Amino acid sequence: MPTLYQDPRSGNCYKAVLTAAHLGLPLTTVDIDVTSGYTRTPAFLAKNPNGRVPTLVLDDGRILPESNAIAWYLAEGSHLIPTDRFARAQMLQWMFFEQYSHEPYIAVARFWMKFVPKEKLREKEHLIPDWHARGNAALGVMEDHLKKSDWFVAGHYSLADIALFAYTHCAEDGGFNLKTYPAVGAWLARVAGTKNFVKMTSA
């Protein structure tokens, strides 16, 4: 059974948990507190030289970092990855959008505003307006898309939905107002209604 090194508060880690649960795949989880510094220790850097969770370890010892690559590995051959060539590329398009235009603002705002002591947040406080501007731009792109489609790609639930759900559903922790994105809200409810859906452990 593969082992997922995760911080249960991390949306990136939650993507792997959500994918495995939906597909009924067995997965062992090992919880790590990313604020403890453990991901920067030699023991952990031997697993993932980039020093981040999630990191997946297979039974034979092979190691796979990067949340969206882990979700892809777990979901290969399932209905979570469209078989059509263009739809598969569109799914990756949204997954790259998530890592480049969404996560660095929405997840980062949540991390600093929810999990970091107030006196430390002061160092980053000047960045909040930029996080909010760019995060709201990403939510706006999602809202426009979801006004026309129930799902991100191929008319069904896929890894694009899982990748984007991970930090969108808890965006209010970072000061975003999801009420201004009704199509996103309806889509969040659709995802929460998918088969074997599990909530984020410590949201």
Shortest separation between residue 84's beta carbon and a copy of itself, angstroms: 10
Q: Of 28, 93, 149, 180, which one interacts with a copy of itself (CB under 8 A)?
A: 93
Rounded Cα distance, 100 and 107, in Å:
11
Shortest reach from residue 56's CB to a copy of itself, in Å: 9
Name the β-bridge partners of 29: 4
Buried b (16+ CB within 10 A) or exposed e, 98-131: beeebbebbbbbbbbbebeeeeeeeeeeeebeeb
* Among the listed residues 92, 113, 128, 178, the single contact to a copy of itself using CB under 8 A: 92
Find the shortest distance in angstroms from Cβ 146 to a copy of itself. 12
Instruction: Write down the least CB distance from residue 4 to a copy of itself, Å.
Output: 14
Q: Smaller CB distance to a copy of itself: residue 91 or 188?
A: 91
Note whether 124 binds a copy of itself by CB under 8 A.
Answer: no
Residue window 134-173: x/- pattern of binding to a copy of itself, with contact defined by CB under 8 A: -------x--xx----------------------------
Please, which of residues 33-62 interact with a copy of itself by CB under 8 A?
Answer: 49-50, 58, 62
Examine residue 72 and tell whether it contacts a copy of itself (CB under 8 A).
yes
Kind of pairing, strands 55-57 and 63-65?
antiparallel
Beta-carbon contacts of residue 156 (< 8 Å; ≥ 6 apart): 79, 82
The residue (of 89 and 189) whose beta carbon lies closer to a copy of itself is 89
Secondary structure class of 72 (helix, strand, coil): helix
72 vs 112, beta carbon nearer a copy of itself: 72
Contacts 24+ apart (CB under 8 A), 144-148: 146/183, 146/184, 146/186, 146/187, 147/183
- Give the number of residues in contact with a copy of itself, rule: CB under 8 A: 32
Cα(115)–Cα(100) distance, integer angstroms: 22
Best CA proximity match to 152, nearest among 137, 165, 170: 165
What are the strands of the beta sheet with 28-31, ordered from one edge? Answer: 28-31, 3-6, 55-57, 63-65
Q: Give the residues lining the site for a copy of itself (CB under 8 A).
A: 49-50, 58, 62, 64-70, 72-73, 76, 85-86, 88-90, 92-93, 95-97, 99-101, 103-104, 141, 144-145
